[in-house]
Amino acid sequence: MPRSSQPSSSDRRLLDDLIQLVSETPLQPERWNEAARGFAELLGGTDAGIFFGSTRLRDTFVPAARTLEPRWLEAYDQHFHKFDERTRLINRLPAGAVFLGHRLLPDAVLRSSPFYQEFLRPQRLLHIAGIRLLADDGGAVLRVLRHDDEQAFGNRETALLERFGPHVRCALEVTRRMNEMQSLVVDLLERFPGAVLVLDQRGRLEHANVAGHRLLATDGPLERQHDGTVHARNPIQQLVFQACLARAQGSDTSDSGRLAFARLQPPQHDRPLTLTAVPRRLCPPGCATGIMLLVRDPADRLAASAESVARELGLTRAQASIALALANGETLEQIALSRHSTLDTVRTHLKGALARTGTHRQTQLIRLVMLSGAVLVDPSRGH
C-alpha cells in the first residue's frame, strides 16, 4: 500500500512522544535505544541508529539501537565502508541537513555497485533517510533503513526528520556539554584537600578521587562492600554514618536534603575524621549523583588563603577569614579566642559574610567555601 506523502495527526502525536523521550537522554542515556526504535517504526524503517565518525564521539555518546546483525556491522567497519559512496556524500552535508538516499545517489547507480551486491543486497536493504547531526570531529548521522522491496522514503519522512532532527541535535549537544562539565568536576574533586566519595542514590560508589580510593583501601573508618555500597567499618560508626546520610538526603524527619556533618573515628587512630555529606541539589553543576562525601582530617587545614576566599566570594578579608576558619572546623568561640577578639565581633563578621553570599546558615557558608575555586584550584597554580 502506498504511504502517505505528508505526516498525519497520528504521526505528529507519536513524534511528540519521541521528542519528549529524546529530551530525557542527557540524564538517561539508555533511552536512546527506545527513541531510535520508535523513530524507525514511525518512518516505516527496519533499522535506525546514530553513527559517529570518530572514536572520541563514540566514547562521548551512547550509540542508539542498531538492529543489523553484529557480523554485518563488523564487516562494514572493517571493509565495506570504503565502498559506501552514499556515506561519502552524506559526510559532505552541513550539520542539520536532511537527506534521502535516492536523491544523493540514484538507486540504479547504487544497485550496480559492489557495495550493494555484496553488502546491502544480502540483507535486503536499499533505502536510507536521515539527518546530519554534527559536522565536526568526524560528524554524526541519524539514519533509518528500509528493505529493497519497499518504496523509497519521500516527503512524509523528510517532514518528520526536519522536525525531529533539531531535538536530537540539541540532546547530543546537551550531553556533550554535561560530559565536559562532569570532566571538569572530576578534575576539581581531585584537587580537593581530602577524600571525595561520590555515591548514587542507593549508596553505591560512583567516583572517588585519589585520596578517596586511599581512604577505602586502608584500614580507615569507611569501606566499600561487595555490592558497591559504602559503609563504616564499625557498627556504631555505621549508625552515625547512616544518620548523616539520612540528614543530607532528607530521608529523616528534617527538611529535605541539606549539608550534614559527622565525625568518624578510624580504628587505631587518635583523631576522628570530619565527614561532610553534600546532597545532590547542593553538588557542583555536572555532578549527577545522589550524594557527595567529603572526608578530611581536621588537622589538615584548607590550603586556601583568606584573600583568595575573599576574592572568590566577594567578602571582606575579615569575613573571609571567619568563613575559612569555620570550614576548617573551628567554632565561633575558638575563632574569637585565636584572633584575640570578642565573640560579638566574630558574629558581626559572620552576619556580614552570610548577607554578602546570600546564605542563611553557617553550613551553607561552609559549603560555599569548601566548593569554591579558592579551595578546589591547586594552590601551586596561583589564584
> Is-above-0.85 flag for pTM?
no
Question: Alpha-carbon torsion 353, 354, 358, 359, what sign?
Answer: positive
d(CA 153, CA 234): 65
Mean pLDDT check: name the lowest of 51-55, 57-61, 299-303, 359-363. 57-61
Whole-number pLDDT of residue 60: 53
Q: Which tens digit of pLDDT belongs to each residue from 83-108?
A: 999 999 999 999 999 999 999 999 99
Q: Which of 131-145, 156-170, 249-263 comes out lowest in average pLDDT?
A: 249-263
The yes-or-no verdict on residue 289 having pLDDT over 60 is no
Q: How far apart are CA 173 and CA 230, in angstroms?
A: 34
Higher local confidence (pLDDT), 5 or 121: 121
Residue 260 pLDDT: 80
Asked if residues 21 and 15 have their Cβ atoms less than 8 Å apart, the reply is no
pLDDT confidence of 37, banded at 50, 70, 90?
Answer: confident
Using CA atoms, how far apart are residues 132 and 161, in angstroms rounded to an integer? Answer: 10
pLDDT, tens digit (0-9, with 9 covering 90-100), for 342-351: 999 999 999 9
Residues 271-287: pLDDT tens digits? 788 888 877 665 554 45
CATH ID of 192-300, from 3.30.450.20, 3.30.70.260, 3.40.50.12780, 3.60.15.10 = 3.30.450.20
Q: What is the band of 4 on the pLDDT scale with cuts at 50, 70, 90?
A: low
Q: Report, as an integer, the average pLDDT of 22-38.
A: 84
Q: What is the mean pLDDT of residues 214-233?
A: 89
Residues 83 and 99: their CA atoms lie apart, in Å, by 19
pLDDT of residue 376: 58
Rounded to a whole number, what is the distance in angstroms from the first to the last CA of the chain?
70
Fold classification of 9-182 is: Beta-Lactamase (3.30.450)
What confidence score (pLDDT) does residue 266 get? 76
Q: Which secondary structure element, helix H or strand E, spans residue 147, and what is its range? A: strand 140-147
**Segment 108-125 mean pLDDT:** 94
The answer to whether 36 touches 48, Cβ cutoff 8 Å, is: yes
State the pLDDT at residue 103: 95
CB atoms < 10 A from the CB of 367, how many?
Answer: 20
Domains 9-182 and 192-300 share a fold: yes
Cα–Cα dist 313/5, whole Å: 60
Residue showing cell 585565636: 338
- For residue 276, the Cα-to-chain-centroid distance in whole angstroms is 22
Please give the pLDDT value at position 281: 60
Query: In the chain, what are the domain boundaries?
Result: 9-182, 192-300, 301-383
Extract the C-alpha cell encoding 20: 519528549
Amino acid identity of 328?
N
Mean pLDDT of 184-189: 67
Residue bearing the bigger pLDDT, 122 or 184:
122
What percentage of residues in the chain have a pLDDT greater than 70? 82
pLDDT at 328: 81
Give me the mean pLDDT over the 336-345 stretch.
Answer: 93
For domain 301-383, say whether CATH 1.10.10.10 is its number. Answer: yes
Over 90: is that where the pLDDT of 217 sits? no
Rounded CA separation 329/251 (Å): 25
Mean model confidence pLDDT for the chain: 83
